[in-house]
Amino acid sequence: MDLFAQLFVNGLVNGSHYALLGVGFGLIFATTRILHFAYGPIFTAAAYAAWFAANVLGLPIAAAMLFAAAIAAVLGVITYQYLYLPFERGQGSSHVTLIASLGLFIVLENLIAIIFGTGGRVIDGYQYSIFLIGPIYFSSVQLGQVIAMVVLTALLGVYLARTRHGKAILATTDNPEMARIIGIDTVRVSRLVFAIGSALSAIPATLILLKDGASPSMGFFAVFIAFVAVIVGGVGSLRGAVAGGLALGMVESLGLWKIPTEWQSSIAFIVLFLVVLLRPQGLFGRAVN
Amino acid sequence: MSAAILETRGLAAGYGKKQIVHDIDLSLGRGEILLVLGHNGAGKTTLMRAIFGLLKPIAGEVTYDGKPIAGRSPGDNVAEGIAFVPQGHGIFRTLSVRDNLELGGFIMSDKTRLPDRMQTIFKLFPILNERQQQIGGTLSGGQQQMLAIGMALMHEPRVVILDEPSIGLAPNLVDRVMQSIAEINKSFGTSILMVEQNVRYSLPIASRVAVLKAGRKIYDGPPARLQDDVELMKLF
Amino acid sequence: MEYILHILVMVCIYGILAVSFNLLIGFAGLFAMAQAAFYAFGAYATAILTLKLGLPFPADLLIGVAITAFIGALVAIPAIRISGTYLVVVTLALQVIVIAIATNWKSLTGGTDGLRGIPSLHIFGYALDNPGRFLPAAIVALVICFWIAWRLVNSPFGRALRAMRENESAAEAVGKNLLYMKVAVFAFSAGLAAVAGSLFARYLNYVGAESFGIDETIYMLAMVILGGTGNLWGSLVGAAVLVILPELLKFVTLPTEIADKSHLIIYGLLLIVILRLRPEGLLAERSTMRHLPHVDDTSRHSAEMTEPLRTGEVTLSGNDLHKRFGGIVAVAGFNIVLKSGSITGLIGPNGAGKTTAFNLLTGFLSLDSGNITFRGRNITGLKSHDIVRAGVARSFQDLRLFTKMTALENVMVALPNQAGDRVFDVFFRPMQIHREEQDNLVRARAVLDFVGLTHKAYETAENLSYAEEKLLVIGRLLATGAEVFLFDEPLSGLDRTTLAEIFPIVRKLADSGKTICIIEHNLDVIKELCDVVYFLDEGHAMATGTPDQLMNDPALATRYFK
């Protein structure tokens, strides 16, 4: 029972992490229909930016996080403006944009490896606290992951539903042409979601930096799991991305209860496989006809 | 200052290698309903999209209130009082009727006027008032079309361009929609540029008619004269 | 020198992989991302069968290909219900699971250590254990695999595949069995990838899980897209470029710590630049040109086209059809009887259930209750392509032409009973296929003549005018050779002159004994063409009669006519 409770908490924590990644990626995907592979290395860059701010500049963690978010936002917008937008305007299918995104992924990941070296980076002298409630233990960072997901997702939800820009994003997600017709500048909306989506990824990136340290290849798993969370949860749904991420985290963790560690990642995929087979639109997505 | 609020001269447009519209001169007078007729493939939709800015013209001029606007983005046109109702019920299917109408007024700088504008739309289309919270995609075809027209009217445009408002609607609904358009023109003085295939219901409300065939204008004049022209009427 | 030979061997292996992947992505339009898994199956099959069972060549290769092809066929089955991003995800999941198995099932696969000491190929006592000796074998394998793929895509099956890629429902509506095609193309794609895997195992004498991850699939994907989807030569070019490029970059000397990363950066940049300059890929898709036969040859077949059937017989009837979607009742107790030689109209307000009725009658939607009979035979529950083959075909309101294919190809793909649709016949009965193609051309020409589109035979469907598109829709439906034609708004948007030209065509069809049913909003068309009209509202027939009877009915007038 104790093991189960611990696994449950771990699942919740990891699920929150995946959920937040999914929310950022999903926002970009639902609004622009671009499979933004380079989301991964931008996530990595954010982690390193936070490391730089905290370790080299000596800023407090919160400030480092904001610094990372700013860097990520800028990188996201530049990627959109100079890579995706020219491809969208030219001919060629969406597959081409995907491969171009992959090219950027390769470039960025290796650039980061050259600049910062392949070894992991941690913030010198940082130690997180551990809490114990009954038989369950968790760290301050893990608590932060859950809180971050709840707070940021709620804020995003309010932003989308209540602000002018938020509504413009929702409109563009629903019907890009109609959005243009009522006077929304869909290019500006795309830039906005790239900025927001990328900035969102900086929070989990910083938390991972605190928990495990940063490494140049951390981006691959991040974008991959974000993508899976969005598909499981349903494209175009904020609740869906959260549900998808949490579901993945839970299944992965609870799967450990009975199944040996080396099969852990496979369990999640089998579940994914089944979800997509039985309910292709995801948990909260619109029905596919 | 000419009497025309919206004019095109020598307008040409197309998609990629295919040029669809050739050398079109159109003139929409203030407070008029200009009906553009023609069968599918004649270039009506291409023409409207080129005028409104969804498509960059290959050649020619478009002037609004004497000012050249060809090639401008739709956003600029909306801001200055031109609205567009696209073919096939252009609405936001996942959002409510109310949200849709609000978005129609997206471009308005003075948001305090939104509630009044919405009331005006509700008076014109009472069914929308009843179904304010209903999600757009669940409305019937006719209701969606009314919502689309309502959205266009939210920001008090001086010109409304409609692309086949009757498409896919049963004849009695088509009549309703046409009567609403005529009323909008009469009550608010809005100039209307309307593309249609359905001659029977649209001709009676038109001030003037232009006919397109294979991307060129083959008639431009009063509806009565068109009805007398046996050759032309054979097209419909 | 040996280094260059090694590169060439890798180009051959990746060439096979890229070609196999292009079959799925470029020709079938199935964006499946498990290619490295198929590659892995072939490699591990050879490794395990030779090391653990001591099987000789070619047993390990053939068994490996067979197993992998079978697995490919299994993967195709979920691909029926899902497509696009969802297919990507499912196949990616598969890929990950396969690699996890490869990594974890140590007793079978050697786990992360992999399997070593795989015996090299021996030809005439010669061991192919260095690049120079292995290269000829690799080249032979490449040529054979390329030929197999080539033959497949240039056959009628390949044409049907491209049609499926353009528009699945339309392909089904002309009688193509989508499940069969998807299973077949997945099986071929997987089997060819397995050949590459087997080669790989024999060449390196080692297989390990790290060679078959998602990066491999992505690498192959880049080759296909760079080379140009829908062009097999392009896949070879793509493979060559992406294998040779990183090697060339090694000559750019840089400090060792950053050397391989810098090379990767340049590699990534080049990928972006090349795609920017040529977004459609290096080699574009080529259309297979066929030439129309001359007029004399068609006389034989025009007789076939107008061979009269008896008129006045009941052909298709729908009895007490019911269908609901969640809470919405679409069709409720709909009854319809169609007779040969007559043109029946189906009118009614929007949302009345007309297109749904067509979907039910032709198997595009399943019935909740009720049954459908064709010439006395119960066809309820049959798949749509079987219903087309039985003799009931439908068109779509939104046309759904195969836009990137020519008018001629649109018609040819609809012709019934093509042996060329069956993969077995493509490879083992080439002469019969060839003769059939000649026949097909003649029949296609007859159809094009009938609808007056012969002069546009080589034009791609997307370049046709609206009226020509409508005529092609009719022609494509005719080509199916069905007896019952259900046209969904075939004439909407056409002007009087064009209509006047089309009416006699429709009338001629009916007079020759065909059964025709038309959904229309245009009341003049209904009056002109239809012998009997059904008025459909709220899911069932509210009234039936001649056009005049219905239009003079006061009750209907308020509902529909104004």
Domain coordinates in residue numbering, chain C: 2-213, 309-561
pLDDT of residue B231: 62
Nearest chain A CA: its distance from C556 CA (Å): 33
**Is residue C307 within 8 Å of C497, Cβ to Cβ?**
no
Q: Which residues of A touch C229 (CB under 8 A)?
A: 93, 95
pLDDT of residue A98: 82
A2-278 is a CATH 1.10.3470 domain: yes
Nearest to B75 among A174, A175, A185 (CB): A185
Q: According to the 3-state scheme, what is the secondary structure of C378-401?
A: ECCCCCHHHHHHHCEEECCCCCCC
Q: Which residue has the higher pLDDT, C148 or A106?
A: C148
Interface-testing mutation among B49, B51, B76, B106, with chain A (most A C-beta atoms within 10 A): B106
Instruction: Tell me, rounded to whole angstroms, the distance of Cα A72 from its chain centroid.
Output: 12
Task: Give the pLDDT band (50/70/90) at residue C304.
Answer: very low
Task: Give the pLDDT band (50/70/90) at residue C56.
Answer: confident
CA distance A160 to A235: 16
| Of B54, B96, B94, nearest in space to B75 by CA | B54
B153: its two tokens: 């009217």
pLDDT of residue C472: 94
Report whether pLDDT(C321) > 60.
yes
Domain coordinates in residue numbering, chain A: 2-278
CA distance C547 to C536: 14
pLDDT of residue A87: 86
Q: Provide the residue type at A92 as one letter.
A: G
**Is residue C11 within 8 Å of C244, Cβ to Cβ?**
yes
pLDDT of residue A92: 63
Nearest chain B residue to C349 by CA distance is B170
Average of per-residue pLDDT across B208-223: 87
State the count of interchain CB pairs (< 8 A) between A and C. 111
- CA dihedral (C442, C444, C449, C450) positive or negative: positive
Rg for chain A, CA atoms, rounded? 19
Cβ of C276 within 8 Å of Cβ of A99? The answer is: no
Q: At a CB cut-off of 8 Å and minimum separation 6, what does C120 contact? A: C127, C128, C129, C134, C202, C205
Report whether pLDDT(C90) > 90.
no
Nearest chain B CA: its distance from A279 CA (Å): 20
Residue B32: what are its φ and ψ, rounded to 5°? -95, 160
- CA dihedral (C188, C192, C197, C198) positive or negative: positive
Average of per-residue pLDDT across B19-24: 88
pLDDT of residue C82: 64
Rg for chain B, CA atoms, rounded? 17
**Torsion on CA atoms B185, B190, B194, B198, rounded to nearest 10:** -10
Strand B216-221 relative to strand C115-116: parallel, antiparallel, unpaired? Answer: unpaired
C47: its two tokens: 């490794």
Cβ of C350 within 8 Å of Cβ of B172? The answer is: no
pLDDT of residue B74: 93
Q: At a CB cut-off of 8 Å and minimum separation 6, what does C382 contact? A: C363, C390
pLDDT of residue B42: 76
pLDDT of residue C498: 78
CA distance C114 to C120: 17
Nearest chain A CA: its distance from C227 CA (Å): 11
Nearest chain B CA: its distance from A240 CA (Å): 15
Q: What is the pLDDT of residues B219-232, one digit of tens each?
A: 888 888 877 776 66
Average of per-residue pLDDT across C209-221: 85
Q: Which residue has the higher pLDDT, A223 or C248?
A: A223
Nearest to C496 among B18, B173, B235 (CB): B235
- Measured in residues, chain C has a length of 562
Rounded alpha-carbon distances, angstroms, from residue C373 to A40, A191, C272, C322, C377: 57, 57, 57, 15, 5
Question: What average pLDDT does chain B have?
Answer: 88
Give this complex's ipTM: 0.90
Q: Which residues of B touch C495 (CB under 8 A)?
A: 39, 213, 235-236
pLDDT of residue A120: 81
Q: Which residue has the higher pLDDT, A211 or A91?
A: A211
Task: Give the pLDDT band (50/70/90) at residue C298.
Answer: very low
Average of per-residue pLDDT across C48-76: 90
pTM (two decimals): 0.83
Task: Give the pLDDT band (50/70/90) at residue C256.
Answer: confident
In C489-539, DSSP assigns E strands to 515-519, 532-537
Nearest to A107 among C101, C218, C269 (CB): C269
C182 CB neighbour count, 10 Å cutoff = 23
State the count of interchain CB pairs (< 8 A) between A and B. 57
Q: What is the pLDDT of residues A169-204, one digit of tens each?
A: 999 999 999 999 999 999 999 999 999 999 999 999
Average of per-residue pLDDT across C185-202: 95
Report whether pLDDT(A287) > 60.
no
Least reliable range by pLDDT among A58-62, B137-141, B187-191, C205-209: B137-141
Report whether pLDDT(C302) > 70.
no
pLDDT of residue C260: 76
Report whether pLDDT(A286) > 70.
no
Rounded alpha-carbon distances, angstroms, from residue B138 to B134, B135, C250: 7, 6, 60
CA distance A92 to A85: 13
pLDDT of residue C275: 85
**Torsion on CA atoms B186, B192, B195, B201, rounded to nearest 10:** 0
Report whether pLDDT(C443) > 80.
yes
Task: Give the pLDDT band (50/70/90) at residue C559.
Answer: low
DSSP string, chain B: --SEEEEEEEEEEEETTEEEEEEEEEEEETT-EEEEE--TTSSHHHHHHHHHTSS--SEEEEEETTEE-TT--HHHHHHTTEEEE-TTT---TTSBHHHHHHHHTTT-S-GGGHHHHHHHHHHH-HHHHHTTTSBGGGS-HHHHHHHHHHHHHTT--SEEEEE-TTTT--HHHHHHHHHHHHHHHHHH--EEEEEES-HHHHGGG-SEEEEEETTEEEEEE-HHHHHH-HHHHTT-
The answer to whether B60 faces chain C, any CB pair under 8 Å, is no
Interface-testing mutation among A274, A276, A281, with chain C (most C C-beta atoms within 10 A): A276
Average of per-residue pLDDT across B80-89: 90
Average of per-residue pLDDT across B26-54: 89
pLDDT of residue C303: 41
The interface residues of chain A toward chain C in range 127-156, judged by CB-CB distance below 8 A, are none
Touching subunits of A (3+ CB pairs, under 8 Å) are B, C
Nearest chain A residue to B91 by CA distance is A178
Average of per-residue pLDDT across B104-112: 88
Report whether pLDDT(C351) > 70.
no
Question: What average pLDDT does chain A have?
Answer: 88
DSSP string, chain A: -HHHHHHHHHHHHHHHHHHHHHHHHHHHHHHH----TTHHHHHHHHHHHHHIIIIIS---HHHHHHHHHHHHHHHHHHHIIIIIHHHHHSSS-HHHHHHHHHHHHHHHHHHHHHHH-SS-B--TT----EEEETTEEEEHHHHHHHHHHHHHHHHHHHHHHHSHHHHHHHHHHH-HHHHHHTT--HHHHHHHHHHHHHHHHHHHHHHHHHHT-B-TTHHHHHHHHHHHHHHHH-TT-HHHHHHHHHHHHHHHHHHHHHS-GGGHHHHHHHHHHHHHHH-TTTTTSPPP-
pLDDT of residue C295: 54
Report whether pLDDT(C343) > 90.
yes
Task: Give the pLDDT band (50/70/90) at residue C231.
Answer: very high
Which residue carries 């260095």 as its tokens? C130
pLDDT of residue C299: 47
**Is residue A243 within 8 Å of A284, Cβ to Cβ?**
yes
Task: Give the pLDDT band (50/70/90) at residue B85.
Answer: very high
C404 CB neighbour count, 10 Å cutoff = 16
pLDDT of residue C374: 92
Q: Which residue has the higher pLDDT, C394 or C80?
A: C394
Q: Report the topology of domain C309-561.
A: Rossmann fold (3.40.50)
pLDDT of residue A121: 83
**Is residue C387 within 8 Å of C486, Cβ to Cβ?**
no
Average of per-residue pLDDT across C304-324: 78
Question: What average pLDDT does chain C have?
Answer: 86
Cβ of B74 within 8 Å of Cβ of A180? The answer is: yes
Nearest chain A CA: its distance from B185 CA (Å): 20
Q: Which residues of C touch A270 (CB under 8 A)?
A: 93, 97
Report whether pLDDT(C64) > 70.
yes
Chain C interface, Cβ < 8 Å to A: 25, 31, 78, 81-82, 85-86, 89-90, 93-94, 96-97, 100-101, 103-104, 214, 218, 221-222, 225-226, 229, 258, 261-262, 264-265, 267-272, 275-276, 279-281
CA distance A139 to A13: 10
B117 CB neighbour count, 10 Å cutoff = 19
Q: What is the pLDDT of residues C165-182, one digit of tens each?
A: 989 999 999 999 999 999
Q: Which residues of A touch B117 (CB under 8 A)?
A: none
